[in-house]
Amino acid sequence: MNEERVLGLAGLFQACSLAQQLANEGRCDEGAMEASLASVFRVDAPSVVGVFGNVSNVRLGLRNLIAQLDESDRDMSVTRMVVTVMRLERSLSGRPELLEQLRQGIVAAQRQVEHFGRDSSQVTSRLAELYASTLSPLRPRVMVSGNPQQLQQPTVVEKVRANLLAAVRSAVLWRQVGGRQWQLLLYRRQCSMLARGLLTGATLDNR
C-alpha cells in the first residue's frame, strides 16, 4: 500500500459519504463536494494529488477511510457503497464503448463548466445525467438508501448521482495506481497509518 492508493481510496470514500449525507439530510459538505466533482474533469492530471487539487481536498475522505479501517465509527452504508462502486468500475472497464461515451460526456460537461462555473447546478445536472445514462444500467447497481423525503427531491437525486460519478472516477484512479480490494484486508493497518499521516499533513498545511 502506498500514499497514491490511499489518496485514490480517500477520493472514493469521500464521494460515497457525500452521496450518503445527501440521501440522509438533503445537504452535504459543499467544499468536499466541489473537490470531488472537480476530480471528474481532471482526466489527464500529472499525479494522484493533482486529480484532487491537493490533499486537503480529500480530508473528509481520509477521515471516513480511517473510521472504516479502525472499525471505531464506521458507517456500513458508506462501506457497502464503496465496495459496490469498486465492482461497478470492474464492469465498466470491460465496456470500451461506455468508457468512450463517458469521456465524451465529460468533455461536453467541461464546456458547461467554462460557461457556468464548476459549482453551478447546470454542471451537477449534466454529470448526474451522464451517470444515469452510462453507469446506472450496469450491474451491480449502486443502491443509495436514506430519507425518502430527501430522495424525492430532484436536486438531491442529481447531487447524489454526480457524487457517484466522482466515486467511480476515484475507483478508476485507485485501480490505475495498483489498488486492489484484497489490499484493504491485508494492509489495513498500513493503510490506516498512511491515511492518518496524510490527514495530519493536510490539516497542518491548511491552518
Residue 25: its H or E element: helix 3-25
36: CATH:
1.10.3890.10
Q: Model's pTM, two decimal places?
A: 0.94
Q: How many domains does the chain have?
A: 1
pLDDT the model gives residue 205: 66
Q: Which residue shows C-alpha cell 489498488?
A: 179
Residue 109: give the domain boundaries.
3-205
pLDDT for the residue 117: 67
Mean pLDDT by 10 residues, the chain (207 residues): 93 97 95 94 88 94 92 82 95 92 90 73 91 92 92 95 96 94 89 94 70
**Cβ density class 17-38: b for 16+ within 10 Å, e for less:** bbbbbbbbebebeeebbebbbb
Res 207: pLDDT? 45
